[in-house]
Amino acid sequence: MRAAPSPNAGKIVKVRWVKRYRDEATHVCVGEVVRETPIYLVMRGALLNFHKGDNELDCENEEVRWIPWQQIAAVTELPQGMKWREAKFSVDETGRVLFR
């Protein structure tokens, strides 16, 4: 028997991970929800890595990622029409990810 489809599948989101220590890079994934399990959020998206105060982002290629719920610090739902694959990203002086 197959599991019921995830109610959030297809939604465009930005997910930020918990930092284990102060100097660790911030990890953000921008993309779409594939499915949810009790343990993981499964996303197809681009991973952004940066440190607060950096003007540059390290942007990894689009992949499917299984992110443990316990490691997620925040999820922001983005507009469903957003073309996240075409977006350009930057970081402001406060460490917020900006989309262009």
- The CATH class, in words, for 1-80 is mainly beta
Q: What is the DSSP letter of 4?
A: P
The pLDDT score that the predictor gives to residue 67 is: 94
Q: How far is CA 16 from CA 19, 26, 40, 77, 97, in A?
A: 9, 7, 14, 12, 10
The pLDDT score that the predictor gives to residue 99 is: 76
pTM: 0.81
What is the tens place of the pLDDT at every residue in 42-57? 999 988 888 776 766 7
Pair 43, 32: CB distance under 8 Å: yes
d(CA 31, CA 14): 7
The pLDDT score that the predictor gives to residue 75 is: 93
- Mean pLDDT by runs of 10 across the 100 residues of the chain is 72 89 81 94 90 71 92 92 84 77
